[in-house]
A = this chain, B = another copy of it.
Amino acid sequence: MSADVPSPDDQIFELEADVVLTSRARIARNLSGSPFVHRSDPEQCQTVAEEIRTAAECVDLPGSPVWIDLAEISNRHRRVLYERHIISRQHAEGHHPRGVIVDEDETTSIMVNEEDHVRMHTIAQGLQTDHCFDQVRDIDRSLETKLPWAFHQRLGYLAACPSNVGTGVRFSAMLHLPALSLTGDLKKVQNAANDLKLAVRGYYGEGSESSGNFFQVSNQVTLGCSEEELLEQFQQVILPGIIQYERSARRALLRQDRVGIEDRVRRDIAVLRSARLIKVDECMRRLSTVRLGVCLGILDDVDLRHINSLFVLIQPGHLHERVGDALSPREALVTRADTVREMLA
């Protein structure tokens, strides 16, 4: 890079955080002898939930986890858990007995009676799929001392959806791909991902739109490979390939149109620091450009962690939570703009 665009802080490249927002690992499990969730009546769901909750309280899970009964909390609270990626949309919107066990740091969550009886998740900043897998496997090992997982000699662990049968393990990473979006090369990544049997989803997982140029990439098949093989392929081969592709698109943009990129970045941070009303889509889009600007070293007075937090804090449930009261659509625009200005001041 030339002198007029300073080098970004090295921390930005630690754990590939310039491209990888978060890594996740999850394990899906079901209780032997109980019907799958979609075939259970409310009473069966309640029995399963209590069995799992009791087991979780008996084993020593890290981070002082607590049980949250999703049927007992408000819509707004469920919405906040969803926006924080602690529960899925499907889990938030269900009507049967269900809950989630979540630790203090919100790095570990165990959804109970989502698609499967148990879905253990761990999340970490940057590229740390291996670390996430170590953690979630420990939780699985603890729980299986108390709970009889449904297991088939030939197929492996059973799951409600065939794509999860086998290891029940899924790795995923939330990737920020603004340069590939700008250059129009995202389609190539999606095609390559399909060939590699990866799923590419939006910011809120299955069925969600891409927003802020975030794409959740995950392995789709858990049958026929060991967890270690899946993990190695995902973390050592697939993700580094996409990361390098995005980085090379970023370098090309800077080389071909440094002023144009700087113009976009500086306009977007200026608008975010000044707006009095802002919609969520516009906000995600401008935050995405600003995140790119920080990673390219164009903005040196913006903390990447603040930007990363804002993608969550500007969501509707979090705005309601901040004000502690119902917000009209107009008030939400004002509160979102206030939140962004304060964080970027």
Which A residues fall within an 8 A CB radius of B? 259-260, 262-263, 266-267, 269-271, 273-277, 334, 337
Contact = CB atoms under 8 A, between A and B. Distances in A.
Q: Dominant SS at the A interface?
A: helix
A266 B275 contact: yes
Contacts of A275: 263, 266-267
Nearest to A277: B263
Nearest to A341: B266
Contacts of A263: 275-277, 337
Contacts of A273: 270
Contacts of A266: 274-276
A271 B263 CA distance: 10
Please state the number of chain copies in the assembly: 2
Contact of A259 (B269, B270, B334): B334
A254 to B, nearest CB: 13
Nearest to A273: B270
A271 B277 contact: no
A172 to B, nearest CB: 36
B260 A267 contact: no
A150 to B, nearest CB: 55
Closest 5 CB pairs of A and B: A270-B274, A270-B270, A263-B276, A266-B274, A263-B277
A268 to B, nearest CB: 9
Contacts of A274: 266-267, 269-270
A70 to B, nearest CB: 36
A110 to B, nearest CB: 43
A41 to B, nearest CB: 50
A71 to B, nearest CB: 38
A259 B277 CA distance: 8
Contacts of A271: 267, 270-271
Nearest to A259: B276
Contacts of A260: 276-277
Given A267-B275, A270-B271, 8 more contacts: A259-B276, A260-B277, A263-B276, A266-B274, A266-B276, A270-B273, A270-B274, A271-B271
A323 to B, nearest CB: 15
21 contacts: A259-B277, A259-B334, A260-B276, A260-B277, A262-B276, A263-B275, A263-B276, A263-B277, A263-B337, A266-B274, A266-B275, A266-B276, A267-B271, A267-B274, A267-B275, A269-B274, A270-B270, A270-B271, A270-B273, A270-B274, A271-B271
A56 to B, nearest CB: 47
A337 B260 CA distance: 12
A146 to B, nearest CB: 55
Chain B CB count within 10 A is highest, among A271, A273, A276, A334, for: A276
